Amino acid sequence: MRRFAFGTYLQTARPLVAAAFLGLIITFPPALAGEPPYPVMGAPPSPRVQATWNRYHDYQEATRLLREMAAKHPRLCRLESLGRSYQGREIWLLTVTERGGDADVLKPGFWLDAGIHANEIQATEVALYTAWFLLESYESNKKVHELLRDRVLYIVPMLSPDSRDAHLHTPQSTHTPRSGQVPFDDDRDGEVDEDGWDDLDGDGNITLMRIADPNGRYKPQPQYPEWLIPAEPDEPGQYRILGTEGYDNDGDGQINEDPPGGYDPNRNWPWQWQPQYVQAGAILYPLALPENRAAAEFILRHPNIVGAQSFHNFGGMILRGPGSEDSPYAPDDIQVFNALAAKGETMLPGYRYMVIHTDLYPVYGGELDWLYQMRGVFCFTTELFTPRDYFGRPVDRTISLREEQMREFDRYLLLGQGYVPWKEVNHPQYGKIEVGGAVKSWGRQPPSFMLEEECHRNMAFVLYHAEQMPLVRLGQVDVQHEPNGLLRVTAVVENRRLMPTRSAIDRQRKITPPDRVALEGAEKVILGLVSDSPFFENPREQKENPAELELEYVPGMAARYVRWYVEGHEKLGISVHSTKGGSDRRELDIP
């Protein structure tokens, strides 16, 4: 089609213009041809939105990309802002689902957020890629098509947008800023954010400061001399490390003690929130941050959310709660987490499934604990980028070994891009010193050639996780005539997915209502029964309002059985509705 159109155009165009177009065709034949010359596995065949996944997008570029996705796929997504960040940026939410059928909130929902720790920048790319891949694969891929038909994904690529731009556009290290940009008086001296890092050599990276000192306790590492390691106990050192690049801006004798922000947005969620003395970074009270509060308000309004992943870096971990020992997970739910994570470990080589408080460290007020404990959501925090990515060697937790691999990787794969050599600068307090170390884009983030793979694999795990969200369907329905003009209607309510319609914690805390199966069109329902077994050996009778039977839940890969005895009918129909498991409806044929 397209080629024909251009052909027609060329015939009527003036020669000069024609020559220009010819030039374009020669330069970009595949793009204009519409079909790639060879079907590459993994990528959407002919995306409407052109995007590159071996680079990082700042807030503006990500915004542009999201707007373009919304504009080019209006039937599949909607872009809205959850609210404004502290500095006034939009907190974008892309709702991805096939529109025109059931309203979003009637479909089982998956929440995906990224970049709550804004320095963990590839998280945002995973979120953007996931949205893009789903939108661009809907027409060509059956699995994606079904997913968007039956499920809704709520994707928030930048939960801390102010700090994303701070990381990308101001001098930082790979570790900063973890905080958002809400001012916070870290040292309680009455002045706010008055003493942050300073880029002494003006290279855009906040690195380390050192000074040559025969009484220092550090020495160059022999293989990688730019790297300082502790001298042996009986060996003289050569350098003193002076900390992170910066000076005493406020004249209180301390360096870098009150940088912008100064809290941890992922310690600010309601469940088991504890103040600063128990949980560093907790800030003033739960959801004190405008970004978190906006997200929480949205999630509260969307009880259909049943699965979630929150993207972070780094270390290659699939984390579940609890964050602290005082609120264990329900055993039934742990089985579901285990099954999901086992698949995740397969799909994400080098990633390990871990429990936060036993395998990592205690966390009070983490987002995933709130999602699970207070919303009943099956939620993982995914720590992107595993050290296994360097050389495929088994993951070693020892920091020095890890640093050695990073230096080795830098030498052979990054060709020395990863570190700034030591360089002399004048320091207002210390005099002549040197600064140097890792650039801000190296350490926690994959390099360009690994980023796309990280995006795709994690997207694939999200799709698996989302696919395993509950989905209620009416199975076999049986209608029989009984004596005295009664009709007996028996129906199977199935959930052929891994996750139950309500997690055990949801049922225990009554977070969402029970599932409901209604018989419509009967004049009088005499008896309503609910059973766990197809043979109704020991059913529960529902005396109140038997036409609408309550199911406490439908477990994963299981069914519930309902039966009615009814009097008088014209047309009968059955509908099932589950807040987190979707809904189904059927008209009955009465023999």
Partner 1 sequence: MPYPVSANDFFWSRGLRHVVLLSALSGIFAGIVLAGVATANAWDPREGFPDLDQIGQRMDALAAKSDYCRLEYLAKTRGHRPLALIKLGTGRVDQKPTVLLVAGADAEQFSSAAIALSLTEQVISDAESGGPWKENLDRYTLCLLPVASPDAYAKAWAAPRWETSRNSRPWDEDGDGRIDEDGPDDLDGDGQIVMMRIADAEGDWVEHPHDHRVMVHFEAGDVGRPRYRLISEGVDNDHDGTVNEDPPGGTAFNRNFPFDYPFFAGDAGPWQVSDPETQALADLVLHQGNIAAVVVLGLEDNMLKPWTPEASAEAQKVKKRILADDFVYFDPLAKFYRERTGFSQDAESRGEGGSFYAWAYFHAGCWAFAARTWVPASDTNQPGQTPSHETLEVSSDQEMAGEDVSESEGPKSAQDTNRDAAEDQQHVIREDSDKEGTAGKGANGGQAGDTNKDNDKRGAFQRAVLAFWESQGKEAFVPWRRYKHPDFPGREVEIGGFLPGAQWNPPPDLVDELAEKHAHFVAHLMESLPRLRIARSSLEPLGGGLYRLTVEVENVGRMPTVPKMGEVNGQPYPIRVELAGEGWELIQGFRKTLLDPLPGGGGRQELRWILRRRDDVSRLRVQITAQSPHVGKASKTIESSAERISENTW
Contact residues: partner 1, CB under 8 A? 187-190, 250-253, 270-271, 273-278, 284-288, 296, 300, 374, 509-514, 542-545, 579
CB atoms within 10 A of CB 444: 22
- What tokens appear for 12 in the block? 């009527």
Three-state DSSP at 127 gives helix
Helix and strand tally (H, E) in the chain?
14, 21
Minimum gap (Å) between residue 94 Cβ and partner 1: 25
Judged by CB, which is closer to partner 1: 47, or 514?
514
Judged by CB, which is closer to partner 1: 254, or 338?
254
Judged by CB, which is closer to partner 1: 160, or 272?
272
Judged by CB, which is closer to partner 1: 175, or 509?
509
Judged by CB, which is closer to partner 1: 64, or 301?
301
Minimum gap (Å) between residue 505 Cβ and partner 1: 11
Inter-residue contact 72 to 49 (CB < 8 Å): yes
Distance in angstroms (rounded) separating the CA atoms of residues 102 and 529: 28
Distance in angstroms (rounded) separating the CA atoms of residues 560 and 548: 14
CB atoms within 10 A of CB 239: 19
Q: What single-letter amino acid sits at 542?
A: Q
Three-state DSSP at 566 gives strand
Judged by CB, which is closer to partner 1: 234, or 325?
325
The residue to which tokens 């609408």 are assigned: 548
**Backbone dihedral region for residue 221 (phi beyond 0: left; psi -120 to 50: alpha; all else: beta):** beta
Judged by CB, which is closer to partner 1: 481, or 510?
510
| Residue of 558, 555, 549 lying closest to 576 (CA atoms) | 549
Judged by CB, which is closer to partner 1: 253, or 431?
253
Minimum gap (Å) between residue 303 Cβ and partner 1: 8
Minimum gap (Å) between residue 579 Cβ and partner 1: 7
Judged by CB, which is closer to partner 1: 287, or 317?
287
Minimum gap (Å) between residue 272 Cβ and partner 1: 9
Minimum gap (Å) between residue 297 Cβ and partner 1: 9
Three-state DSSP at 124 gives helix
Minimum gap (Å) between residue 213 Cβ and partner 1: 22
| Residue of 362, 386, 384 lying closest to 311 (CA atoms) | 384
The residue to which tokens 């300082």 are assigned: 228
- Alpha carbon distances (Å) from 220 to 206, 279, 391, 409, 426: 20, 36, 24, 18, 22
Minimum gap (Å) between residue 255 Cβ and partner 1: 12
Minimum gap (Å) between residue 239 Cβ and partner 1: 26
Half-sphere exposure of 477 (CA within 13 A, CB side): 22
Three-state DSSP at 433 gives strand
